[in-house]
Structure 1
């Protein structure tokens, strides 16, 4: 096996990609809500276009960004891209980073449920057990009735659900859809929807704020490029698990920068959610069903990076 296609090298690149995503999300939190979420999403998406040259294949046309084989599903991804980006920004603005990540890590559970409803997938008891474990972990983290829930928790649920819908759309559209079109749908959705919503409360960023907004967008784009690189040289089922390393970054950032704390129940809930995700990934690997990685970056493009590149071994022209 050549170094170019070394699974170990691909996994290391995946770890680097998720670290980059974590720094991107930390850039949002450093702003402390001083810039409206719509505006951050809009400007961040503009910087996110830096990934397009790396996504475009030689035979693609730039018009493929808006071309599609299924316009209704393309529009659904368009909407989910905008909703997911805005919701994730709100989540990281209002919640401790570790708590935000653990809620967004429910994505595999959402994907399982939606796949049963819309794709009629046959889901065995092991995957349902993983879903139950994940939701139990959320109950332990949130402790409803014992602590006050905020709009940030609702935003996390909406962000995770939006990303799950995007993944189901990816599966439904299949290999006929070009990666540039799939990426472009979510990116254009974020730019257009956020651009319209930000107009009434537009704030001119300071130089410091520009730095962190640019960091959010450019690092998100860089993370996607790294993930696509990792998925080209290693199986997608090896590229997916390193996403949970983001929890270590979240805990480190929370402790060193944001004065966040994690109590024992929250730590237990986080472990349950991570176990749920890993169990789901293990079952998908055994059954040979492609499961894109969690959308834990707020640009909502992470699943495309691995699904479009990583499934190419089993799905032609993916």
Structure 2
């Protein structure tokens, strides 16, 4: 992969564009998982559409770019893709039942779980500031889950499970990032993900309506574009600088929920989201200090 000249402003622009598209995929998933466009589709079918159309988009780009595939580590790719597919499927299930802003906020726990899992799996050491950041983020998730016999959101556990699963995916991404080019990782990830998603969807597949086919295609294309923007952002600035801008996804998710589904965040959602973002931001700040 050709190294690009550092360009922080352009990196921020790419990351903000990625956040808008990622929030857009949540909108598509919510539309497909409810009766907005026809009979609700199973989360496994929604994630299949995500991988199908994302792979078609990335494979088309590969035909033009003609990247050199250099000795991929299939074991790491399969592990990364299994957890990525599982995480996105759980997230698509969650957004069918809870506000986009709540599900998005809970998803920001994945770097926290990635940090915690890196202790036993990568042998990383965690200091008190990182533990404090993790505690704040987990407290925010507890607030969003609304524990109590009358208010507990079981669907929130789906989003929490997605965050844990995607945290495990981060472990594999860390191992792959220093071995292979970013485009190669994206291409192989989506190819393997399509195979896994196709096998998983067979028992529950049903014929989508024309509107649902359009939403599935939009979901995959938005995800592929978001991934491309994310990769370009990472190529033009340090990860510790640009990653915190990904939290703008929450703003887009809240805005889309309001404009499209007329869902307003309540006080608990706002408090929980702020708590999670504070913990995640503290973690990002600490990572930047460590690697400065």
Q: What's the TM-score, normalizing by structure 1?
A: 0.81
Q: Which residue of 1 aligns with 2:110?
A: 107
Q: Which residue of 1 aligns with 2:170?
A: 167
- 1:286 and 1:100, CA in 2 relative to 1: closer, same or farther beyond 3 A? same
Quote the offset at 1:32 in angstroms: 3.5
Quote the offset at 1:22 in angstroms: 1.0
- 1:94 and 1:186, CA in 2 relative to 1: closer, same or farther beyond 3 A? farther
Alignment of 1:95-244 (within 5 A): 95-145=98-148, 146-150=150-154, 152-173=155-176, 175-180=178-183, 182-244=185-247
Choose 160-169 or 44-53, whichever is displaced more: 44-53
SS in 1 for 2:117: helix
Question: Does 2:41 match 1:35?
Answer: yes
Contact residue 257 and residue 263 of structure 2 kept, 8 A? yes
Q: Which structure 1 residue ranges, 5 or more long, are not aligned?
A: 290-318
Equivalenced residue count is 281
Contact residue 91 and residue 153 of structure 1 kept, 8 A? yes
Quote the offset at 1:160 in angstroms: 1.2
Distance in 2 separating the partners of 1:137 and 1:42? 31
Q: Which residue of 2 aligns with 1:68?
A: 72
Contact residue 106 and residue 134 of structure 1 kept, 8 A? yes
- 1:10 and 1:72, CA in 2 relative to 1: closer, same or farther beyond 3 A? closer
- Deviations along 1:102-155, whole A, 9 cap, x unmatched? 1101112101111112111111100000000011111112121151322x3222
CA RMSD of aligned residues (A): 2.3
Quote the offset at 1:55 in angstroms: 7.0
Q: Which residue of 2 aligns with 1:304?
A: none
